[in-house]
Amino acid sequence: MGIYLNPGNSGFEGIRNAVYVDKSGLIDLINQSINTPLRLSCVSRPRRFGKSFAAQMLCAYYDKSCDSSSLFKDLEIAKSPDYKKHLNQYNVIYVDMSSTAPYTNHYRDLIPFLSRRIASELEDAFPGMAICDDLPGTLISAVDAAGCKFVMIIDEWDAPIREHPEIQAEYLGFLRSLFKNSGVTSRVFAAVYMTGILPIKKDGSQSAISDFEEYTMLNPGPFAPYVGFLEEEVRSLCDSNHISFDEMKRWYDGYSLRGTGSVYNPNSVMKAIRYHHFDSYWTETSSASSLIGYISRDFQGLRKTIAELIGGVAVNVETKGFSNDLINFRGQDDVLTLLVHLGYLAYDESSKSVCIPNEEIRLEFTRAIREDQQPETMKRVQESNQLIMDTIHRNTDAVAMQIERVHQEATNPLNANNENALRAVIQLAYFSYKDYYIKMEELPTGRGYADVVYLPKQGEMVPALVIELKWNQSAEAAIQQIKARNYPAVLQDYGGEILLVGINYDKDAPVAERKYTCTIEPFSPI
């Protein structure tokens, strides 16, 4: 066993010794690509979404220097007809790019370091083979000496250019020499699995290493079930560990990929189970300061868009032009696309829109905004907090004025004369609600649906808010509907104070009058 050549199965053995969610079906996808034109796979996903676990699983499966049958015999892959055909049948080259930083002058000497170290391990394994001046030549010699091709696994492929963009040209040239060279790639590699946070850097409009099949958070293809934990997997974990599935869903659900339904962050789910505590574990992977750097960029409309996202509004995005790096941004679409790849936003392929996926990420945005010293951002936070206080204190004129102001300033103004459009404005206006409340929309009450209900979080000394929205009617009519249909009954076990909030938008109101009106009353059960 070596560090880079045939590293063995101890990494995956350690993973199997803990609570393990079976993702071995991914191996079958790689098996199907072996010695085909699709042999090069690049799978990108956010931090702590299981990239390294998958890489170590593949090492254990393919590495011919060890016997991994006991690690896989009870997993999904063992049911595949090709399971034994490829099990421990290849020499594996495994490189975790992020681990090389301390030995390569922070990646500046990466190419000579890797070429030297991999060549040295190959020479030890296959005495007498020729060592060439370049790594591709050395690999060809090693294949001839070994009598079989290699499976190469690269983890965190993008770490060098994320952390030191100045080496990008040299690094991409090195990868091209291995994977965009018909005289090398098909002769040396049976399969290559490369994973990172970002998709492969674009060279103009195309990927710089265009022979790779790319699977991203925007288009994961057949790898979608292996991006994170699926809902049935999370439910099973919650049941076996006696932890609330509903809370797990609220905190960590929200990513949705074609063909999979809900997808959860594996790291956060496992830590919530281990500690029996729901919290944001995102800060352990990347600081809020990096998020601030992206959402504070001086692009027209970006800060308004961030406010919309925090308020729960989905925002349309064009993802095609993103250059797949952390430097070149043409506008807010590129920023939002990057945040999808980083896991801060969830992408809905059908509507081509993004949203903040869950409570964990919402907290990260909130922290980032509070640390952001941009006056416009702070002003929006303060206005939303003030609106909540005005609502609690039944200052109806102030509530109506602020909601109308948000309507006028919205990036995506109302374009449909209905209460669904009005609901989007309410989401924007109350976007800081999560400091105090849990929001429930169209809550079934037995006699209809309450438009919006804000239920206080545990320990928050604020009243519950039951909000009914009307279009071209009256705020008083909204209150009467709440009473007539007894919407507060759904909160009968809540036990605290409840305020009824009626909001009406009069599209045809005279210029001299306000288009929004508001009525607020305390709820008095009959």
Q: What is the CATH number of the domain that holds 443?
A: 3.40.1350
- Is 136 part of a structural domain of the chain? yes
| Integer Cα distance of 294 and 291 in angstroms | 5
Beta carbons within 10 angstroms of residue 10's beta carbon: 13
- Is 2 part of a structural domain of the chain? no
- Is 1 part of a structural domain of the chain? no
391 shares its domain with 510: yes
Residue predicted with more confidence, 307 or 467 = 467
pLDDT at 146 over 50: yes
pLDDT at 287 over 50: no
DSSP string of 277-296? -----GGGTS-HHHHHHHHT
Where does the pLDDT of residue 365 fall: very low under 50, low under 70, confident under 90, or very high at 90 and above? confident
CATH code, domain with 103: 3.40.50
Looking at residue 312, its amino acid is G
Where does the pLDDT of residue 123 fall: very low under 50, low under 70, confident under 90, or very high at 90 and above? very high
Residue predicted with more confidence, 41 or 307 = 41
198-212, 283-297, 461-475: the lowest-pLDDT one:
283-297
Query: What is the extent of the structural domain holding 442?
Result: 378-522
Q: Could you give the 3-state DSSP secondary structure of residue 51?
A: helix
- Is 368 part of a structural domain of the chain? yes
68 shares its domain with 32: yes
Instruction: Specify which residues 264 forms β-bridges with.
Output: 229
End position of a domain, from candidates 345, 373, 401: 373
Q: What's the first-to-final CA gap in the chain, in angstroms?
A: 77
Are 56 and 12 in contact, with CB atoms under 8 Å apart?
yes
Q: Which residues contact 516 (CB under 8 A, 6 or more apart)?
A: 400, 401, 403, 404, 407, 503, 504, 505, 506
What average pLDDT does the segment 148-160 reach?
95
Q: And the tokens for 209? A: 């290493």
Residue predicted with more confidence, 285 or 93 = 93
The reported pLDDT for the residue numbered 143 is: 94
Q: What is the pLDDT of residues 483-501, one digit of tens each?
A: 888 877 777 777 788 999 9
User: Residue 260's closest CA among 214, 235, 226?
Assistant: 226
Work out how many domains the chain is built from and give that number. Answer: 3
122 shares its domain with 84: yes
pLDDT at 448 over 70: no
| Integer Cα distance of 158 and 135 in angstroms | 20
- Is 220 part of a structural domain of the chain? no
User: Residue 282's closest CA among 254, 320, 312, 261?
Assistant: 254
Q: What is the pLDDT of residues 225-284, one digit of tens each?
A: 999 999 999 999 999 999 999 999 989 998 988 888 899 999 999 999 999 999 888 765
End position of a domain, from candidates 317, 338, 373: 373
pLDDT at 215 over 50: yes
User: Residue 58's closest CA among 212, 169, 163, 193?
Assistant: 193
206 shares its domain with 82: yes
End position of a domain, from candidates 184, 215, 246: 215
Is the dihedral angle over the CA atoms 288, 291, 296, 300 positive or is it negative? negative
Are 195 and 51 in contact, with CB atoms under 8 Å apart?
yes
pLDDT at 288 over 50: no
Q: What is the mean pLDDT of the chain?
A: 87
pLDDT at 140 over 90: yes
Question: pTM of the prediction?
Answer: 0.82
- Is 309 part of a structural domain of the chain? yes
Q: Which residues contact 64 (CB under 8 A, 6 or more apart)?
A: 6, 88, 89, 90, 91, 92
414 shares its domain with 516: yes
111-115, 192-196, 449-453, 456-460: the lowest-pLDDT one:
449-453
How many helices (H) and strands (E) would you count in the chain? 21, 18
